[in-house]
Structure 1
Amino acid sequence: MDALNDKKAILNRLKRAEGQIRGIQNMITEEHDCVDIITQLSAVRSSIDRTMGLIMAENLQNCLANPVDDSTEQAAILQKAIDMIVKK
């Protein structure tokens, strides 16, 4: 998959999550059952986590496929990517 398709896929995931959030807002307004709301919130969180994983994986692949010439700088870039993954 190329970068343009990756970007479209990520944006589509975010738009879907945005729609889910709006749906949850409506559920709260309409006083739906707490369990149903929490279930939907959990689904959104899971969706966002997967999207973050895709973005981090793409970033890491880019770091490895296109290394910078300075090995110290490359190590710092890779460490930053690793820190993002561990922080997640």
Structure 2
Amino acid sequence: MAEPESARAALNRLKRARGQLDAVIRMVEEGQDCESTVTQLAAVSKALDRAGFTLISSGLRECLADGVDGEAKEDSLKRLEKVFLSLA
């Protein structure tokens, strides 16, 4: 589980992204300018990516700090790496 501060930061980003996505949906429904709509959509995407990276970063710190050694640690790091790369 993410550290409380990291989880709070990620949650704030996700809530902001939700608001931005609602705005993008309205823009599409209203037939607004394509350029500004896509610009806002890019902002939503970036906010989601940053939230994901924040959570993964926190997970990596926890994994390294927990003192888990050997194969369990390696498995945890491999899973986090896979999730990280899925955001790329």
One fold, TM greater than 0.5? yes
Deviation at 1:86, TM superposition (A): 2.5
User: TM-score, structure 2 length as denominator?
Assistant: 0.86
Aligned partner of 2:10 in structure 1 is 10
Letter in 2 for 1:22: D
- Name the larger-Rg structure: 1
Matched residue count: 85
Q: C-alpha root-mean-square deviation of aligned residues, in Å? A: 1.4
Q: Is the 8 A contact 2:63 2:76 kept in 1?
A: yes
Matched position secondary structure for 2:68: coil
Q: Identity of paired residues, percent?
A: 33
Unmatched 5+ stretches in structure 1: none
Aligned partner of 2:36 in structure 1 is 36
Matched position secondary structure for 1:86: helix
Structure with greater contact order relative to length (CA < 8 Å, sep ≥ 6): 2
User: TM-score, structure 1 length as denominator?
Assistant: 0.86
Letter in 1 for 2:34: C
Q: Which runs of 4+ in 1 moved over 3 A?
A: none
Write the distance in 2 (CA, Å) between the matches of 1:30 and 1:87. 33
Aligned partner of 1:46 in structure 2 is 46
